[in-house]
Amino acid sequence: MIDNVDLLRLQMTQGLGRVGLRRLMEAFEQTQGSLAVGSRELFRLAGIREGLEKNIPSVHAPELVRARRTLEGLAVRMLSLWDEDYPAHLRAIDDAPPLLYLRGDLPRCPCVAIVGSRKASSASLELAYEISRDLGSAGVSTISGLARGVDGRAHEGSLASGQATVGVLGCGIDRIYPPEHAGLYGRILEEGAILCEVPPGTAPLAYNFPGRNRIISGLAQAVLIVEAAKGSGSLITAEFALEQGRELMAIPGAVRSAGSLGPNQLIKEGATLITCAQDILDVLGVLSAPCVPARPMLCELDRDAQNVLAQLDFEPLHIDEVAFKCGLTPMELSDNLLDLELQGLICQLPGMRYVLKK
């Protein structure tokens, strides 16, 4: 069986990609060879172009020595496709990572991936937190990318429930990106796991993240898109979810909101509409968890009040903007705003600004 040093040497071979690494590992398993001898024959059996074997770093190469010290210092486990501990859900996908770097322990319960915009609205961030928290209370773990915005809030919600969460990186396992998530990185390790497929020291370069996204969806039973503008990386995760046969879910949003274009389109194309954790649990067949309390239905309000409420969101809006959108007189608007505030549906902020009440 190929040892970790040889695995690391193969992955750090310049010019050898993910597909080539997998072919080499398969050839290695078949021949039970060693890189000490026969590397040229090994590369030939794997169908790798001649001469690339010369790029294999020696066991004394500085970059290899640094990587080994990093892995040992951080107690990182290396998992190959042939290891019993390799995640079964991930192993089943096409283009499964031939090698994983893992810190912490992967959860053995159902897992849902929650991803979304790095610049999400406050409403979407709160929903990501609440849904992952409620999923955690029902024994379901959250998987995400440890990024700013929705990803970070999803991890935090899961941790708040006491449930494990998994952060998948698009950089080396020794790199914390974004740097302001250093504290969150540490908390995740206490309750769950951090993993990646690239060697230590790898920078968070753009071309690493699509590959990271396929791992996020591959580890999960279902993928929830919270907020995603057109061209968002979250939509790449959605594509992987469909290819991998995962349940694809999305939270709807305002039709004119750029961040809602992705989820709304996914729902139109067949993704399951989600408003709270219970919707996800119903799809997964998991026992109930508490949901965010429902707000009074619009039909319980008169037409003017419905009109005013429909213009408001969790982002503050000045009374003049509300008036412009509603087309009501100042007196009519004031009466409806006061009524909605007394019903606990909205809040008035300093500067005559109004928001929906959370």
Residue 79 lies in a domain: no
Compute the residue count for the chain: 358
Say yes or no: 168 and 208 in one domain: yes
pLDDT grade for 70, boundaries at 50, 70 and 90:
very high
Which of 32-36, 57-61, 114-118, 323-327 shows the highest mean pLDDT?
Answer: 114-118
Say yes or no: 44 and 126 in one domain: no
pLDDT grade for 296, boundaries at 50, 70 and 90:
very low
Residue 302's pLDDT is: 77
Residue 187 belongs to domain with CATH number: 3.40.50.450
Rounded CA separation 173/72 (Å): 12
pLDDT grade for 171, boundaries at 50, 70 and 90:
very high
Helix (H) or strand (E) holding 203: none
Say yes or no: 200 and 247 in one domain: yes
Residue 40 lies in a domain: yes
Question: Phi and psi for 325 in degrees, rounded to 5?
Answer: -75, -35
Residue 292's pLDDT is: 43
**Whether the Cβ atoms of residue 281 and residue 288 lie closer than 8 Å to each other:** yes
Pairing between β-strand 141-144 and β-strand 111-115 as defined by DSSP bridges: parallel
Residue type present at position 268: K
Say yes or no: 263 and 343 in one domain: no
Say yes or no: 197 and 234 in one domain: yes
pLDDT of 349 > 60? The answer is yes
pLDDT of 144 > 70? The answer is yes
Within the chain, strands assigned E span: 77-80, 99-104, 111-115, 141-144, 165-168, 193-196, 222-225, 247-250, 272-273, 317-318, 346-349, 353-356
Specify the DSSP class assigned to residue 108.
-
pLDDT grade for 230, boundaries at 50, 70 and 90:
confident
Residue 299's pLDDT is: 42
Residue 324 belongs to domain with CATH number: 1.10.10.10
Say yes or no: 180 and 227 in one domain: yes
Residue 256's pLDDT is: 83
The DSSP bridge partners found for residue 143 are 113, 166
Taking the whole predicted model, whether its pTM rises above 0.75 is answered as: yes
- 58 exposed, middle or buried (CB, 10 Å; 0-12, 13-18, 19+)? exposed
pLDDT of 357 > 80? The answer is no
Residue 327 lies in a domain: yes
Residue 290's pLDDT is: 45
Residue 126 lies in a domain: yes
- Going by C-alpha positions, the residue among 138, 148, 182, 190 that lies closest to residue 166 is 190
Q: Please, which residues have CB within 8 angstroms of residue 57's CB and are 6 or more apart in sequence?
A: 9, 12, 13, 63, 64
Say yes or no: 272 and 321 in one domain: no
Say yes or no: 154 and 231 in one domain: yes
Residue 161 lies in a domain: yes
Residue 122 lies in a domain: yes
* Number of domains observed in the structure of the chain: 3
Say yes or no: 169 and 263 in one domain: yes
Q: Which domain-ending residue is among 260, 284, 308?
A: 284
Residue 29's pLDDT is: 67
Residue 289's pLDDT is: 45
pLDDT of 356 > 70? The answer is yes
pLDDT grade for 32, boundaries at 50, 70 and 90:
low
Work out the mean pLDDT of the chain and round it to a whole number. Answer: 87
Residue 80 lies in a domain: no
Q: Which domain-ending residue is among 31, 51, 73?
A: 73
Say yes or no: 48 and 117 in one domain: no
The DSSP bridge partners found for residue 15 are none
Say yes or no: 277 and 309 in one domain: no
Say yes or no: 108 and 247 in one domain: yes
Q: Provide the domain limits for residue 22.
A: 1-73
Residue 290 lies in a domain: no
